[in-house]
Amino acid sequence: MGQKELKVAFLLALRSLQRGSRSSVILTVLIIGMCFTNMIFLPSMFSGIGQSITKQLVDYEVSNILVSPKSGDQYITDIDATLDLINGMPGVQRASPHYSKGATFKYRQRILGVSVRAISPMDEKEVSPVYTKMVAGSYLGEGDTGEIIIGKPIAGDATVRQEDEFQASLGGVRVGDSITVEYGNGYTKDYRVKGIYSTGWSPVDNAAFVTWTDMELVEGKTLDKADYITVRAKPGYTEQFIKNELLAYGVGVNGQVQTMTDLLSKSVGKVLQSFAIINAVSLVVSVIITTVVLFIVITIKTLNSRKQIGILKAIGVDKEVIMHNYGFQVIILGILGIILGIIITLLLAAYMSVHPIVTPEWSAYLYITPMDLLTNSVILFCAAVIAGYVPAYQVSREEIQSAMRA
């Protein structure tokens, strides 16, 4: 197959598409484009959901590395020394201890069970962006006592009647209001609401924060233990690196060290697995539709031009030229379809980045990497080429006599 043959095959292909049925070309390109979109839409959306869950987990729950009690223990003990050790290590931005205690909130006629989380605000601000999510008032300051910040769903809305509430709340707490908190150990105290936040991450929005100092008052002693410690990595340091470091310096003696990825593979991993099945199905369906459509399009084209093909062969056009003529047509259609698909996908992605589908746990936007676009393009392209070359090969091998008689 020389250059001249390929050139002629390409010319024939190009002219057939340019001067043949316009609507057939447009419809074929449209179908390939839609199949491409279909192939990439669900996986990208799942991947976007996964990303948004992951981001919120990192931001509001586990940060990059989570140090939790060893199995069998309820708390991490010797917390001051442990924190000093972790904070002193290269690559660690900050470690923030967490300690929660169940409590009952009372405000006017309302009573609500809430988990109160003790944090040390200076540390926590370096680890979690809750302080950027204040919708009213301000974040806790280091050493604040008698002040509490609560999630927006807990604060509630005074304009909504209690019966109509989606979830129980305190019925419209405002900054500066006083709420009575009765802890599980019987300790009761009035707090001034210093701020109200809304992160979109429901477990945090349904909790309240007080300072470490305040919790020590509740416990009646120095609090040298924590439920867990979240550790934020400095940019440029991998979680695995820091985890290894922590283990090497003996943090593992006091607690269990897990990276966000370790945790994710356990919890979200299951979800992602079910996503993967849906993704595979949508991929297979798209590939099959594209293959079938192109196969039919090219088969019809070749059947309609059997006589034509016979004539071309009779005047000395090699069967390879005939085959590549249809091959090139499918390649051109495939490329146009994929380009259209990429455009549609990017437009959808742009639209969904402005209008994501939002739920308390995640917001769905399209997470698309150039690699996703590339692999899907390649898969679809290969399917297209096979679908086109099969009938092209068959028709190009037909005897001249039977072809011309058609």
With 0-12 CB in 10 A as exposed, 13-18 as middle and 19+ as buried, what is 126?
middle
Q: Which stretch binds other proteins (CB under 8 A): 155-163, 179-187, 303-311, 363-371?
A: 303-311
How far apart are alpha carbons 244 and 397 in whole angstroms? 64
Q: Is 405 in the site for other proteins (CB under 8 A)?
A: no
Least distance CB 235 / other proteins (angstroms): 59
Least distance CB 307 / other proteins (angstroms): 8
Segment 72-78 long-range contacts (CB within 8 Å, at least 24 positions apart): 73/255, 75/225, 75/226, 75/227, 76/225, 76/226, 76/227, 76/228, 76/229, 76/254, 76/255, 77/224, 77/225, 77/254, 78/224, 78/225, 78/254
Q: Which stretch binds other proteins (CB under 8 A): 10-18, 104-112, 124-132, 158-166?
A: 10-18
Cα angle for residues 345, 348, 349 (degrees, 5° grid): 85
* Residue from the set 5, 126, 216, 262 that interacts with other proteins by CB under 8 A: 5
Q: Is 20 in the site for other proteins (CB under 8 A)?
A: yes
- Contact (Cβ atoms closer than 8 angstroms) between residue 77 and residue 251: no
Give whichever of 152 and 313 is closer to other proteins, judged by the CB atom. Answer: 313
Residues 308-327 that bind other proteins (CB under 8 A): 308, 311-319, 321
Residues 178-217 that bind other proteins (CB under 8 A): none
Give whichever of 20 and 113 is closer to other proteins, judged by the CB atom. Answer: 20
Residue positions counted in the chain: 406
- Contact (Cβ atoms closer than 8 angstroms) between residue 183 and residue 109: no
Q: How many CA atoms lie within 13 A of 227 on its CB side?
A: 13
Give whichever of 14 and 136 is closer to other proteins, judged by the CB atom. Answer: 14
Least distance CB 339 / other proteins (angstroms): 23
Give whichever of 21 and 244 is closer to other proteins, judged by the CB atom. Answer: 21
Check residue 20 and report its DSSP letter: S
* Residue from the set 10, 16, 287, 332 that interacts with other proteins by CB under 8 A: 16
Q: Which stretch binds other proteins (CB under 8 A): 18-26, 99-107, 255-263, 354-362?
A: 18-26
Token pair for 121? 């605000």
Token pair for 110? 């309302």
Give whichever of 265 and 394 is closer to other proteins, judged by the CB atom. Answer: 394
Give whichever of 38 and 396 is closer to other proteins, judged by the CB atom. Answer: 396
Q: Is 355 in the site for other proteins (CB under 8 A)?
A: no
How far apart are alpha carbons 22 and 315 in whole angstroms? 28
Token pair for 301? 């084209």
Binding residues for other proteins, per CB under 8 A? 2, 4-5, 7-8, 11-12, 15-16, 18-20, 307-308, 311-319, 321, 400-401, 404
